[in-house]
C-alpha cells in the first residue's frame, strides 16, 4: 500500500475500451495513478508488478470472468479494495462479489460522479487504515522504547558499585540493588516490598529515611549525611534524599550508600601523623621560647633596642607556633574522640570566671572591657570534660578580643534556658560577612579582609569548638553583622 502522500493506484480491468479510458481520464484528474487491462488474466499479470490500491473490475468479461479474477485477487492477500462493475441485471452477481470480499459495486453503465464517489470512498477507507496502522506502529515503538529504557536503567542500577535503595511515602522499600545488600550485610535474595526496618538495623537511619519518605524534608540542604559503622569494622556513608514529583510533592526517598572505610583509615592516619609531629615539636619549641625569655631578661638595658625588638618578635613567634601546635593537638584529640571522654561535674559559673580572669589582661592591653554577667540563681552542674569546655570558652572569648577593635566591649552572659545552660559571647567588633558565616567552623578557614589580615591565627579554633560541642551533644550558633559585632550562642545540655 502506498503512503498517504503518494497518489493511490488504480487498475481498471474491463473488456470495453470506453470503460477503460473513461475511468482513466476521470481518475487521473483527481490524482490517481491508473493502469488498464482488457481482460482478467492480463489484469492479474499487471498486479504482479503494479501494487494497486484499488481495482475497478468488470464482472462480465469474455475468458476469465470477473468473479474468478476477484477470487484470485483476494487470494493474493494484498489489501486491495475491489470495486466490481456489474450490469443492471446482475444484482445477484454484485451480492456474490461482496460475499467474496469485494469492497463496493457500481452498476453499469455509470455516471462519472458515481465512479468518483465510489473511488473517493475507497480512498478514504485506505487513508484511514493507513493512519490507524501508523498510530499503532507508533504506540508499539513507544512501548518498546519504554521497555528498553526501563531495562537499561534497571541494569545500570543493578551494576552500580554504590548501594541504592528507594522507598515509597510509607517507608516501604520499592527498589534495592545488590551493592546495597552487600554493603549493609543483608541476604541479597530478600528483594523489595518490606518496611525499611527489615533492611537496615540502624534505628536512627531508618527514622531519617522514613521522615524523608513522608516529605518531612523538602529542602535538600537540611538533610544531614549519615555515617554508620557495620560489622567487620566497615564505615558507610548514607545520603538520603526525597524523590519529588512534578509539582514538588514527595513521592518517597532514595538512599545512596557508600563505603568510606578507606577514607576513614586515611583520615585517622593523617590525624595520628599530625598529633605525632605536633607532639614532637611542642617540647623543643617550649624550650626555645623559655630560653629566649631568659635571654631577653638577661640582656635588658645592655643591648640596643633594635636587638631587643628582634628577640621579642622571636619570642612572640615561638609562642604563636606553640599555640598552633596546641590547636592541632586539640583537634587530633577531638578527631580521635578522646576530648569528651573525661567526665566530671563542672560548675560553669566558676569555669567562666577563671577563663575571664585569665584573659582580662589581654583585653585590657587593647583597652577593651570584658564583662561577665550571670542571670539570677545558680547554674546547675554539668557533667563534661573540663579541658574541653575551657577550650570552647577560651577560643570564643579570645576570638572576641582578637576580632574587636581597641576600646571595644565583650560581654559574656550565662543563664538557664529551660533546664539547660545558655552562654552568650557578644562583642561589638569587626563582625563577619554573611558569606563567611557558614564556613568559619571549617578547619583552617580564616576570613581575610583589611581588618583581620594582620591578626595571627590558624583557622582551627572554631572547628575545635564545634567538634567539642558536637561531642557534648550541645549546640553552637553564630549571628553577626559586618562592622557591628558578633554573637556566639552556646547551649550546654544538663542531664
The residues binding ligand ADP (CB under 6 A) are 395, 399-400, 403, 427, 429-432, 440, 445-447, 452, 457-463, 486
Indicate the residue among 93 and 399 with the shorter CB distance to ligand ADP: 399
Residue 453 CB, shortest distance to ligand ADP, in Å, is 10
Residue 336 CB, shortest distance to ligand ADP, in Å, is 20
Give, in order, the Cα–Cα distances in Å from 114 to each of 8, 408, 422.
18, 107, 100
Residue 326 CB, shortest distance to ligand ADP, in Å, is 12
Indicate the residue among 96 and 479 with the shorter CB distance to ligand ADP: 479
Residue 276 CB, shortest distance to ligand ADP, in Å, is 22
What CA–CA distance (Å, rounded) separates 283 from 460? 21
What CA–CA distance (Å, rounded) separates 350 from 357? 11
- Which grid coordinates are listed for 208? 531519617
Beta bridge partners of 84: 57, 105
The DSSP element (H or E) to which 200 belongs, if any, is none
What CA–CA distance (Å, rounded) separates 53 from 27? 13
Residue 323 CB, shortest distance to ligand ADP, in Å, is 9
The DSSP element (H or E) to which 413 belongs, if any, is strand 409-417
Indicate the residue among 215 and 394 with the shorter CB distance to ligand ADP: 394
Indicate the residue among 280 and 442 with the shorter CB distance to ligand ADP: 442
Residue 194 CB, shortest distance to ligand ADP, in Å, is 46
Compute the residue count for the chain.
495
Indicate the residue among 179 and 464 with the shorter CB distance to ligand ADP: 464
Residue 356 CB, shortest distance to ligand ADP, in Å, is 15
Indicate the residue among 66 and 485 with the shorter CB distance to ligand ADP: 485
Q: What is the DSSP letter of 9?
A: E
Beta bridge partners of 175: 166
Indicate the residue among 272 and 433 with the shorter CB distance to ligand ADP: 433
Indicate the residue among 388 and 460 with the shorter CB distance to ligand ADP: 460
Indicate the residue among 282 and 443 with the shorter CB distance to ligand ADP: 443
- Residue 309, classed as helix, strand or coil, is helix
Indicate the residue among 234 and 466 with the shorter CB distance to ligand ADP: 466
Residue 404 CB, shortest distance to ligand ADP, in Å, is 7
Residue 202 CB, shortest distance to ligand ADP, in Å, is 32
Burial state string for 240-262 with b = 16 or more CB within 10 A and e = fewer than 16: bebbeeeeeebebbbbbbbbbee
* Torsion sign (Cα): 69, 70, 76, 80: positive
Output the 3-class SS for 130-196: HHHHHHHHHHHHHHHHHHHHHHHHHHHHHHCCCEEEEEECCCEEEEECHHHHHHHCCCHHHCCCCEH
Residue 292 CB, shortest distance to ligand ADP, in Å, is 23
Give, in order, the Cα–Cα distances in Å from 386 to each of 346, 357, 411.
7, 17, 22
Q: Which of 22, 23, 38, 29 is nearest to 7 (CA)?
A: 29
Residue 311 CB, shortest distance to ligand ADP, in Å, is 25
Residue 471 CB, shortest distance to ligand ADP, in Å, is 17
Q: Are 26 and 115 in contact (CB under 8 A)?
A: yes
Lookup result for grid cell 481520464: 25
Q: Which of 236, 224, 221, 166 is nearest to 196 (CA)?
A: 166
Q: Are 316 and 289 in contact (CB under 8 A)?
A: no
Residue 442 CB, shortest distance to ligand ADP, in Å, is 8
What CA–CA distance (Å, rounded) separates 109 from 106? 8
Indicate the residue among 291 and 456 with the shorter CB distance to ligand ADP: 456
Indicate the residue among 38 and 489 with the shorter CB distance to ligand ADP: 489
Q: Is 316 left (phi over 0), alpha (psi -120 to 50) or beta?
A: alpha
Indicate the residue among 177 and 458 with the shorter CB distance to ligand ADP: 458
Instruction: Give the count of alpha carbons within 13 A of 26, CB side only.
Output: 20
Give, in order, the Cα–Cα distances in Å from 308 to each of 286, 288, 291, 295, 350.
20, 16, 14, 10, 39
Amino acid at each position: 500500500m502506498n503512503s498517504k502522500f503518494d497518489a493511490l493506484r488504480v487498475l481498471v480491468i474491463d473488456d470495453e475500451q470506453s470503460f477503460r479510458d473513461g475511468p482513466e481520464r476521470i481518475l487521473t484528474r483527481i490524482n490517481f495513478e491508473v493502469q488498464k487491462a482488457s481482460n482478467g488474466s492480463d489484469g492479474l499479470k499487471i498486479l504482479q508488478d503494479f501494487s494497486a490500491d484499488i481495482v475497478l473490475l468488470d464482472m462480465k468479461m469474455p475468458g476469465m470472468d470477473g468473479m474468478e479474477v476477484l477470487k484470485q485477487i483476494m487470494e493474493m492477500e494484498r489489501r486491495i479494495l475491489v470495486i466490481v462493475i456489474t450490469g443492471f441485471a446482475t444484482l445477484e452477481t454484485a451480492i456474490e462479489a461482496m460475499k467474496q470480499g469485494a469492497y463496493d459495486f457500481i452498476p453499469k453503465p455509470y455516471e462519472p460522479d458515481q465512479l468518483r464517489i465510489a473511488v473517493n470512498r475507497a480512498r478514504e477507507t485506505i487513508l484511514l487504515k493507513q493512519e490507524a496502522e501508523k498510530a499503532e506502529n507508533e504506540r508499539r515503538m513507544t512501548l518498546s522504547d519504554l521497555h528498553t529504557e526501563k531495562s537499561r536503567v534497571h541494569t545500570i542500577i543493578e551494576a552500580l558499585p554504590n548501594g541504592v535503595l528507594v522507598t515509597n511515602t510509607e517507608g516501604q522499600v520499592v527498589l534495592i540493588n545488590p551493592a546495597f545488600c552487600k554493603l549493609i550485610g543483608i541476604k541479597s535474595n530478600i528483594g523489595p516490598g518490606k518496611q525499611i526496618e527489615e533492611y537496615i538495623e540502624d534505628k536512627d537511619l531508618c527514622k531519617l529515611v522514613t521522615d524523608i519518605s513522608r516529605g518531612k524534608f523538602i529542602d535538600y540542604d537540611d538533610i544531614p549525611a549519615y555515617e554508620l559503622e557495620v560489622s567487620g569494622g566497615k564505615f558507610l556513608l548514607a545520603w538520603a534524599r526525597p524523590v519529588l514529583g512534578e509539582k514538588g510533592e514527595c513521592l518517597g526517598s532514595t538512599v545512596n550508600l557508600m563505603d568510606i572505610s578507606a577514607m576513614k583509615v586515611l583520615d585517622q592516619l593523617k590525624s595520628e601523623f599530625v598529633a605525632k609531629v605536633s607532639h614532637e615539636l611542642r617540647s623543643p619549641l617550649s624550650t626555645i621560647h623559655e630560653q629566649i625569655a631568659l635571654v631577653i631578661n638577661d640582656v635588658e638595658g645592655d643591648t640596643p633596642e633594635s636587638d631587643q625588638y628582634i628577640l621579642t618578635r622571636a619570642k612572640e613567634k615561638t609562642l604563636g607556633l606553640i599555640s598552633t601546635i596546641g590547636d592541632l593537638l586539640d583537634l587530633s584529640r577531638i578527631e580521635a574522640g578522646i576530648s569528651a571522654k573525661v567526665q566530671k561535674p563542672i560548675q560553669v559559673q566558676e569555669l567562666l570566671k577563671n577563663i575571664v580572669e585569665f584573659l582580662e589582661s589581654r583585653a585590657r592591653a587593647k583597652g577593651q572591657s570584658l564583662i561577665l554577667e550571670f542571670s539570677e540563681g545558680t547554674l546547675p552542674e554539668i557533667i563534661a570534660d573540663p579541658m574541653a569546655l575551657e577550650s570552647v570558652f577560651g577560643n570564643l572569648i579570645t576570638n572576641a578580643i582578637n576580632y574587636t577593635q581597641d576600646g571595644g566591649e565583650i560581654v559574656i552572659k550565662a543563664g538557664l534556658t529551660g533546664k539547660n545552660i545558655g552562654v552568650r559571647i557578644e562583642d561589638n567588633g569587626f563582625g563577619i560577612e554573611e558569606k563567611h558565616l557558614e564556613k568559619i567552623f571549617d578547619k583552617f578557614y580564616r576570613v581575610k579582609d583589611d581588618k583581620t589580615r594582620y591578626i595571627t591565627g590558624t583557622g582551627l579554633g572554631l572547628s575545635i569548638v564545634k567538634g567539642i560541642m558536637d561531642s557534648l551533644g550541645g549546640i553552637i550558633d553564630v549571628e553577626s553583622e559586618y562592622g557591628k559585632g558578633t554573637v556566639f550562642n552556646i547551649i550546654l545540655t544538663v542531664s
